Chain A
Amino acid sequence: TTRTPTFLGLEQSANLFPESDSESDVIVAVLDTGVWPESKSFDDTGMGPVPASWKGACETGTNFTSNHCNKKLIGARYFSTGYEATLGPIDVTKESKSPRDDDGHGTHTSTTAAGAIVGGASLFGYASGSARGMAHRARVAVYKVCWIGGCFSSDILAAIDGAIADNVNILSLSLGGGTADYYRDSVAIGAFSAMEKGIFVSCSAGNAGPSAYTLSNLAPWITTVGAGTLDRDFPAYVSLGNGQNFSGVSLYKGDSLPAKLLPFVYAGNASNSTNGNLCMTGTLIPEKVKGKIVLCDRGINPRVQKGAVVKGAGGAGMVLANTAANGEELVADAHLLPASTVGQKSGDAIRDYVLSDANPTATILFEGTKVGIEPSPVVAAFSSRGPNAITPDILKPDLIAPGVNIIAGWTGAVGPTGLAEDPRRVEFNIISGTSMSCPHVSGLAAFVKGAHPDWSPAAIRSALMTTAYTAYKNGGKKLIDVSTGKASTPYDHGAGHVNPVAALNPGLVYDLTTEDYLNFLCALNYTSMQIQGVARRNYSCGAGKTYSIGDFNYPSFSVSLQTQVIGGGGGSSSGGGSKSVVKHTRTLTNVGGGSGGSTYKVSISTTSPAVKITVEPDTLTFTKAYEKKSYTVTFSATSMPSNTNEFGRIEWSDGKHVVGSPVVISW
């Protein structure tokens, strides 16, 4: 990526840890569509020997040999047995039966996580700069599990099985599949085993936002990553015949439009199809769009395919209008023809014009790359949202990271749109999704692990979460959700936006052991068989022991008062008529370093006077490294209508560190 290192302050970290080379001992495993090993992002110049701990392999197959690996790309394997058992033998004329990436997605995610520094990177001149992964000195091991027909759970599980045996340190999975309970979810089960081996597992939250309850990868031993924007944009203005101008975005590069206004037509009026407005394949009437700019509505088919459909029908250009599902979120694409994507409000105004004017005309003006866009980050509309549909008492997503208009390495097998009719080939591509935010966090976890090799996966996640920010640095206003234009909530951004330099020195962490996770399963009232399905062992929940999700040492708080009043869940509660009281406990571990003591004081904020949060004790004094101290939080609230949510934040600070936790209270 060319902007996120600056946006995240990573260049600053080079001064903090100039001599640290322990990051090169960290192995980041990416389960995805494979790898394009010729990408400059896998150049191993200057890298030392492969870590002795590495037990993996570089497998041979279609257009791929062991010579394609090096000291940067240390492993490449593929898992297709389950896929082929269901869909038949792989057609090697269409996809490589090898670790080679014919899609681009896997090369993008792996280079985002841990690609080497590549100068002069850009997509057609857009987003130009020096590209690098978040952990640019870490090693990369790719496990190809996704094929043209999808990613099958038997292959994913085999890849996780292999990655554990290979001794990787970080697992990055930018994929998902529904919301099965943990003991029925292969990714959750495999991730549990990885976690036990000290492997940090990060997964994408999903792109089903902005609706609630849309998250994937919800297990508490997984770090679940939502998406936000960068401070970078690719403006392409739509200029109408009535003199109005609207700002949009585009990554188009090619022949310019004529220096005059062109006839403009709404796709819905250039089609005999009831959904002609969507510019789906075969729906446009060429005679009605030839030489014109066509207004298409977003939805159903891929955005870049709409451009190809307009081009195929003879259109000169395209304006792509967001609908309510996307609001004002502007995702840029490398369209095959001059095109601009505009937000819903602009789209509505443009549609009004093209439908009401007798001779509508328009043109598109491309402005290239702009940085310093404010506010940024904003939560992406597509980013999946909480509450957690499986365990509402665990807040998900855990945090957000850059996932909109991200430039990273790309395959040489397809063009930047991924369309068969796209003949262009690029070294870098700009795409969007929580698939892109997940490897940011995977790489940043490698970055933290490089500085703290002995930290557990939970400690690394805690560091990333408790140092995440929820307000803009300039002005202090709350992060914005682009789907509403209003302040986002912990259901949208979790603990906040990742802040990796602060995560290197979080002061305190909420640590968790395997036994804590087993006790969490006990708190869910899992049967011994269900626990064995997740954890591969006999584990007896104590018959007389009380297990509480509320006391599970997670770095965030999600309090369901209705559940507590009825008597389920965790913590203690008392109905008391119209007032509910719930207590949760947490334990903080001092990782602040140094031999001197440190005293942390708590501060609390809530969005509603109906909610009272108290913390006991309100001061914690640590005298030595790795010392643990516990505290109890009491949430009390008057009765509220069902489905009401209130939010808050608990912060511990010693003046140097701020250890923040989001709070959600739901009725």
Chain B
Amino acid sequence: VQQKKNTYIIHVAKSQMPASFDDHTRWYDSSLKSVSESAEMLYTYNNAIHGFATRLTAQEAKSLQDQPGILYVLPEVKYELH
């Protein structure tokens, strides 16, 4: 169960990007790789939010939440047509 991956949307405080990065996508990737070697970016968001979507285990999601500049790690939600 602990290894089961779910999709999360990660909200990032872009203003907190370390000076060592010149591109926010590299920073996002670095943050992600720090908690999961295998996780891949599903989407990188630039306009609707600052952040990205990825697949993580619950433990990885918890670890990512503690990384600098990470605002929220929100689980995927399924919406329905009305």
Binding site for B on A (CB under 8 A): 32-33, 81-82, 85-86, 105, 146, 150-154, 156-158, 160-162, 164-165, 174-178, 180, 183-184, 186-187, 189-190, 193-194, 197, 204-207, 216, 433-435, 438, 529, 532-533, 536-538
Contacts and interface: CB of A to CB of B under 8 A. Distances in A.
Interface of B: 6-7, 9, 11, 13-15, 42-43, 45-50, 53, 55, 71-72, 74, 76-82
A204 B80 CA distance: 11
B66 to A, nearest CB: 14
Contacts of A190: 48-49
B49 A532 contact: no
B78 A154 contact: no
Contacts of A150: 78-80
B12 to A, nearest CB: 9
B79 A158 contact: no
B69 to A, nearest CB: 11
Contacts of B55: 85
Contact of B48 (A189, A433, A438, A532): A189
B7 to A, nearest CB: 6
Contacts of A165: 46-47
Contacts of A189: 11, 48-49
B53 A82 contact: yes
A175 B48 contact: no
Contact of A86 (B45, B46, B76, B81): B76
Contacts of A433: 81-82
Contacts of B53: 81-82, 154, 157-158
A223 B62 CA distance: 34
Nearest to A529: B71
B80 A86 contact: no
A82 B45 contact: no
Contacts of B43: 81-82, 154, 157-158, 161
Nearest to A145: B79
Contacts of B79: 146, 150-153, 156, 175-177, 187
A176 B80 contact: yes
B81 A153 contact: no
Contacts of A175: 79-82
Contacts of B81: 32-33, 105, 146, 151, 174-175, 433, 435
Contacts of B11: 189, 532-533
Contacts of B76: 82, 86, 152-154
Given A164-B47, A189-B48, A533 B15 contact: no
B82 to A, nearest CB: 4
A197 B82 CA distance: 26
Contacts of A154: 7, 9, 42-43, 53, 76
A361 B42 CA distance: 60
A204 B81 CA distance: 9
Nearest to A437: B82
B57 to A, nearest CB: 14
A167 to B, nearest CB: 11
Contacts of B78: 150-153, 177
A533 B48 contact: no
A536 B49 contact: yes
A634 to B, nearest CB: 38
Interface centre among B6, B9, B45 (most CB of A within 10 A): B45
Contacts of B42: 81-82, 85, 154
Contacts of B6: 86
Contacts of B80: 150-151, 175-177
A12 to B, nearest CB: 30
A161 B13 contact: no
B45 A157 contact: yes
Contacts, number: 124
A160 B48 contact: yes
A606 B67 CA distance: 53
B73 to A, nearest CB: 11
A204 B45 contact: no
A34 B29 CA distance: 31
A230 to B, nearest CB: 18
A151 B76 CA distance: 10
B56 to A, nearest CB: 11
Given A82-B76, A186-B77, A533-B11, A158 B45 contact: yes
A162 B72 CA distance: 21
B48 A435 contact: no
A85 B75 CA distance: 13
B9 A153 contact: yes
11 contacts: A85-B55, A86-B76, A146-B79, A164-B48, A174-B82, A175-B79, A175-B81, A178-B77, A194-B48, A216-B82, A533-B72
A175 B72 CA distance: 23
Closest 10 CB pairs of A and B: A177-B79, A190-B48, A154-B53, A164-B47, A204-B82, A161-B48, A435-B82, A151-B79, A160-B48, A153-B77
A189 B10 CA distance: 12
A193 B82 contact: no
Contacts of B13: 532, 538
A184 B74 contact: yes
A156 B42 CA distance: 13
B4 to A, nearest CB: 11
B79 to A, nearest CB: 4
Contact of B82 (A33, A162, A206, A536): A206
Contacts of A82: 7, 42-43, 53, 76
Nearest to A157: B48
B25 to A, nearest CB: 14
B82 A161 contact: no
Given A165-B47, A186-B77, 16 more contacts: A81-B43, A82-B76, A85-B42, A85-B55, A152-B78, A154-B7, A154-B9, A154-B42, A154-B76, A157-B43, A160-B47, A174-B81, A175-B79, A180-B77, A435-B82, A538-B15
B13 to A, nearest CB: 6
B71 to A, nearest CB: 5
Contacts of B74: 153, 184, 186
Contacts of A533: 11, 71-72
Contact of B72 (A146, A158, A183, A197): A183
Nearest to B43: A158
A197 B48 CA distance: 10
Nearest to A32: B81
A574 B65 CA distance: 43
A301 to B, nearest CB: 16
A33 B80 CA distance: 11
A124 B81 CA distance: 25
A33 B79 CA distance: 12
Contacts of A176: 79-80, 82
B77 A434 contact: no
